[in-house]
Structure 1
Amino acid sequence: HVLDHQHENTLTRHISNERDNYHILVDVTNAVISQSSKENLLTSLLNCLHPYFKIKELSIIETDKGRCIQRDGRIIGNDIQTQCFFFNDISGSVLDIYCSETIIVTGNDLKQLRAEYSDFNIENDIECLILAPLIFRRELVGKVAYMLSDAAQLQEIDIALMQQIAARVALSMHSLRGSQHSTHSQAKSTDILIEETYDHYQIFDDIISQSEVMSNVLDQVAMVASCDSTVLIEGETGTGKELIAAAIHKMSRRCNRQMIKMNCAAIPDGLFESELFGHERGAFTGAIKNRVGRFELADQSTLFLDEIGDLSLALQPKLLRVLQEHEIERVGHNQLINVDVRLVVATNVDLLARVEDKQFRSDLYFRMNIFPIRLPPLRDRAEDIPLLVKHFTRLISKKMGKNIRAITQESMRCMTEYQWPGNVRQLKNFIERSVILTRGEVLNAPVHELVGMGQPVSGHVSAKEFSPVAVHNNDETISREAIIEALKESNGIVAGPRGAAVKLGLKRTTLLSRMQKMEISSKDYLVER
């Protein structure tokens, strides 16, 4: 019991430190992410770090036309004095701009550095220098030099945290280098050209957006990517949770290894433990050879578990143990295997509600909820729809060998005003259908099939009735009637493209959960053949 108590205290301190670091990283990200110049970046970063680490001076170093530029900021009284120095890069020295290691310089090494490289400015009261590389997408873009006036401060500083701060500075430096934004689309005729350039969040090539709400999401991704803590991604079906998980992995230190993915809803309960942890030959009927589980496959990498809300109560404590102990046990084997895995989980259900309903363990929920990221539905980021329409049209038409160059303004208006209950996935599927129907150079989008733009365009029900939020917010009587009607229309089929879940704009697991609560059986609506 004493050991358990000590372990619990250690875990509590660890989680507390993680939360403190997150607060610091949030402040740093807010301080550096939107600066208009490198001088502003320097002063804003110094202002942010001083209260946490008592750092009174720091430098940002980069190369320009074969020489190094040291932008130095120093707190003097209530002001920050900035200066700019130039020096030649000395390959092989601690000032080697292409060195990718974090270097700490103190004592005699610092005296020698001052003597040999007098062009590099270090004030006389500085006792310790932390040189962290600025790395963005595996490319060195410079260094940040944290300067400490008391070498004893080093014992209180988390070097890994300083590296994570440097990663955010690198991200901002990259944005400043490419700050010449492309021009907004300008129609050259009554049609909108899809080849026109567009703005999107520069750091994330795979994520098309310009809305403020998505910029906030991507800021969160940038904050947490370099950490190893578990991330919980929440959002409706089709909002791009896997894409966000991939972005977190690509920006992490684990990016050189493949991210391992698993959909919890797609694995039968009887095989779940084997899929996650692996099994030994003969562990159960059908286990004819050893199998490596997803956790072992993801060692030194990232494991993405989608639809985590479908994880059975029996397996939840085993997942919690892995998160706490970083070790697994294969089915049919009693030997513990150490794993170094960064876990990213996703769900489209309200996990906290499931905790309250005793369907999900509270300790596992709070262990996964250290850094939640909530993805907005497409209806809340309408300004991104034109960008997505152009992107998908260009991508899909190229794949199909078609030369589609424009979209009518009316089609774009209809698509922008539609609510898209299936979110980005539904939009992409609609564009694919449109490309198939197109014979000329102007996209033939069947917008008459869309609903929800004021009066319904067709005889279908409005998009609001299909919205997962609308279904969730209706009272139980209306929701029950809607579910029964959808089951009748789908002949009792819940899942699949023609199932009731799709008709209601709900996930299969969400619909099954609601049916169970309302005591609705799909068997009552099966059509016998």
Structure 2
Amino acid sequence: MPEAHPLIEQYQALLEVSEAIARHPDLPALLKDLARRLPRIIPVNFVGLSLYDPERQVMRLHSLEANVPADIIGGHEDELDATPAGLVWETQQPLLIRNLSDERRWPQVIARMQEDGVRSCCLLPLTSSARKLGVLEFASLQADAYGKTDLDFLQQVGRQVAVAVDNVLNREAASASQQDVERQRDRFGLLLRMTNAMVSKLELRELFSAVSLSLREVVPQEYASLLLYDSEQNRFRLHALDFPDNKGLLAEGLTTDATDSPAAVALRTKRPVVAGEEELAAFEHEVIRLLLQKGFKSLCSLPLLSKDRALGCLSLGSRRAKAFSPSDVEFLSQVAGQIALAVANSLAYQEITQLKDRLAKEKLYLEEEIQTAYNFEEIVGESKPLKRLLKQVQTVAPTDSTVLILGETGSGKELIARALHNLSDRKDRTFVKLNCAAIPTGLLESELFGHEKGAFTGAISTKIGRFELADRGTIFLDEVGEIPLELQVKLLRVLQEQEFERLGSTRTVRVDVRVVAATNRDLSQMVEEQKFRSDLYYRLNVFPLTVPPLRERVEDIPVLVRHFVQKFGMRMKKRIETIPAESMKALQRYSWPGNVRELENFIERSVILTAGADLFVPLSELKPHQAVSGNGVPTTLEEAEREHILKTLRETNWTIGGAAGAAARLGLKRTTLQSRMQKLGITRPR
């Protein structure tokens, strides 16, 4: 059979190239087919395709196929002036290198080719009607393998390959465009769902839970957290978390330092921060250390900005390197903007709810106070002991100092506390009172500091404590000596730091409260008996006020009697015009162990019993053994003992212990004297 003419073989090869182009839609398969077919026509051992990347302005080796054993590594990228493909692409002229050993340009690329045994090559520009695509490369293990005839043939092959490359790139661009359209559709859908969720879900944790699942579909990631920033403490609070591989390592409510983390950088710069594995390793933050241990290699932290104020951060993590592209960051910034709006709305909602609850609570307290029998204007009396006390009240009221009010039961300690509040700069805020002896010990902490929902059995909702309710106002703690030792530590912290935590919460609540305490017990003796903390006693005893008992202000009794008669007469619609003189003297002679409260109750009972214009006083109810003579001389053993102890205390300037103290003069132990003083209601005057 006659041998085929070379031109016929070339035409036949071109037809086969056309068929191969039609048969192979992907470029690597096409090049592999060319590397198999072309050696029948010309010496070809390698066929390569380099494409130009306009964004990075480099030539990238897209595919490389061989028909000889070779360790082929694709994907090389080179600057235009560092590779012969760059020269061919720029000049659009073919290039023949007859012997690579004589070529001094492009040393790195030539060295790679020589490692595969290449000795000569031919490079052809690939150009469509619309653009310059790249370069088609043919290489041979022979030196000087290609002549002019070969070049003409290879150029024809190159024209056909250019059409195939252009078609493939157009399909890829169309596919990428379609994917981009679908991606944008998904992202806009997520933003729309977020907007709808913001309308229906005011609770931020529910909103984040709804968003994070959809977010994982649009931007693949395995960790999402919502951090809210506390500017006062410079700390982040983990408000919401979506971390399937958590296994209890992180918990919502966790607080961490707002330093040394990508989130801290994003918060400070108010710009997104994308960190790879190497950048993450530079941070010492415990959460970042944990994520690295879990195999995370990428993290994106985005600030939540509201009116140029950073509320916190949205952080996303992935186990893939370079997981967050610039387009992803741009989209996530939009998501962060939506979440920031939700955070601002949620915080505003919470603040409004708290203020609403607080106003409702204050209204209840104010209604209770309106019904209270005593108020500041009803401090009635003209005696010197009372005037001295009121002068001290006027002195200390404008300050924010803690005041300890001492006095017997019923002497009017609450009236003095209210006077302190009404004369202070806090008079427009709430006056909150609490009788510490009236609350069961187990519930006293909750009553003072509040509790979170589920903090203990029966805590079915969050409760605001009295201290939080009294913020910027005054709290009056009556019977403060009844507070148990274990709770005194927390009370001391409030007095010193003005902060506390609700039961069942780790969040610190800061308040601005003035504390006024009262007791009818001897706290100094309780300190000695280790029933009351000394540090708390000294913190309460900043400015002690002693309310004199009614028996030490006998001249105030007529004024008080007339006041109470008028008060109860108006309430009961009785017109009482006179008080018998003998009745008034009897009232003055009585020692009133229950003080003003006992006198008030007695007068109320007298008004009830009165039928005419003269007050009827049931004198038989005033026990004779507690009476004193008109000249003030004690008529009972108890009164005589009390007067003798008082006289001795005055003579020793109220010094109880020591060789020259009152206890030694009376022949008693110091503790015995203190016990007798407490029983007889003897307290040291201010």
Q: Give me the TM-score of the superposition, normalised by structure 1.
A: 0.49
- Structure with bigger gyration radius: 2
> Which has the larger helix fraction?
2
Q: Give me the TM-score of the superposition, normalised by structure 2.
A: 0.38
